[in-house]
Amino acid sequence: MASWDLLITDARIATMRRDVAGFGIIENGAIGIRDGVIDWVGDATEATQQPARATLSLGGQWITPALIDCHTHLVFGGDRAAEFEQRLAGASYEDIARAGGGILSTVRATRAASADELFEAALPRLDALIASGVTTIEIKSGYGLDVDTEIRMLEVARRLGDASGVTVVTTLLAAHAVPPEFSGNADGWIDVACNELIPAAAERGLADAVDAYCESIAFDRQQVARVFDAAREHGLPVRLHADQLSDGDGAALAAGYSALSADHLEYSSNAGIKAMADAGTAAVLLPGAFLTLHETQQPPVAACREHGVPMAIATDCNPGTSPMTSVREAMALACRLFRMTPEECLAGTTREAALALRLDDLGMISAGMRADIAAWDIEHPRDLSYWLGRNPLTHLFKSGRSVSLTAA
């Protein structure tokens, strides 16, 4: 019998298995890990038969799948704290964007930053996310809006993954805003995105997916469709910032392209959510942006439940609408703002987030899954959404190896 590299024992486990209700709890559980993979999980009394090179006894602490942040804009230059103050004084996000601020102000700062500067600026944000229990993160481009800077952002995202050891999934957000050079000519930028940027990113293996922002202050359905057609031509799956500020029928548009996910969704119609269910498109709900923009339109949680659309939750970490660097904060907000249950919130940052990224071997504790595991000093997994502030994370493993919690 081959020995395990690590046996974690004396743990209570929230497996988050899809086929087991109520967090999928195993009391007095143990996990045997070999070659970075969960080899065995079950009752601790049955685990002692097998030799293990190392044992970690958790004294009854809880284990969950390590958390996954499936929607971030982690790489950017500068910040937008001054705009935050303007909005508190009454200016709207759309007003600021139309006046050349908003996303375009971050574009100016990002273009002016070197790759090293972008990397150094992103690292503490990544450390903070890791300290909140994250071992997998999606990072979008979208603040370059020229070919060179978009490519630079994606390279920095890949480098962050290499340097930190966490899994980084990259998304080319070519159609995020109309770049200043194309002011009044959004289609001109879509031409460049389709004919130069998507091919360049695809050829260099820098993008795992393509995203777009379908909104009155960004791109319309036809323009998004052109971007998605180009992505498809280059074998890249798509996701969409959809119906965040108005109902642009983005959910149905995303579903029409079998998008991996449609994100935000506050204004999506019931028909849009039904289309997502039929297409297997996950919903990604972003309470940090909802809170920061003082949004009052609730995302369609009831429709997602009714139609069986998986709901992921993410930070949307970005300098404009969601300066947030803790996935647990996103969970806590989703409960309070969207009335999602703590179980839905933990599923939303584990198995449903894995689904939104199509990472089949992550997001659940079961044999055959990668050993991405978090241990917590809590009384029950619902506490992860209940408490604000204190960080109860005690151990974090990526593929069975301990991750250092520098920002804990």
Task: Lay out the site mask for ligand NIG across 235-264 (x = CB under 6 A, - = otherwise).
Answer: ------x--x--------------------
Among residues 208, 243, 266, 316, which is the contact residue for ligand NIG, using CB under 6 A? 316
Using only C-alpha atoms, the chain has a radius of gyration, in whole angstroms, of 21
Residue type, 106: T
Answer whether 301's CB lies under 8 Å from 340's CB: yes
Rounded-to-integer distance, Cα 368 and Cα 37, Å: 6
Q: Which is nearer to ligand NIG, 29 or 287 (CB)?
A: 287
Residue 106 binds to ligand NIG (criterion: CB under 6 A): yes
Q: Which of Fe ion, ligand NIG, none sits in contact with 102, Cβ below 5 to 8 A by type?
A: ligand NIG
Among residues 150, 316, 344, 372, which is the contact residue for Fe ion, using CB under 5 A? 316
Task: Single out the segment in contact with ligand NIG by CB under 6 A; choices: 22-30, 50-58, 118-126, 311-319.
Answer: 311-319
Torsion region of 264: left, alpha or beta (phi above 0 gives left; psi -120 to 50 gives alpha): left
Rounded-to-integer distance, Cα 40 and Cα 201, Å: 39
Task: Lay out the site mask for ligand NIG across 274-293 (x = CB under 6 A, - = otherwise).
Answer: ---------------x----
115-131 and 147-164 helices cross at what angle (nearest 10)? 40
Task: Single out the segment in contact with ligand NIG by CB under 6 A; choices: 6-14, 46-54, 98-106, 148-156.
Answer: 98-106
Residue type, 94: E
Q: Which residue has the tokens 């899994």?
A: 167
CB of 73 to Fe ion, least distance (A): 6
| DSSP E strands, 267-408 | 282-285, 311-313, 373-376, 393-398, 401-402
Classified as helix, coil or strand, 6 is strand
Residue 164 binds to ligand NIG (criterion: CB under 6 A): no
Count of positions on this chain that bind ligand NIG (CB under 6 A) = 13
CB of 384 to ligand NIG, least distance (A): 24
CB of 406 to Fe ion, least distance (A): 26
φ/ψ of 179, rounded to 5, equals: -65, 150
Residues that bind ligand NIG (CB under 6 A): 73, 102-103, 106, 213, 241, 244, 289, 316, 318-321
Residues that bind Fe ion (CB under 5 A): 316
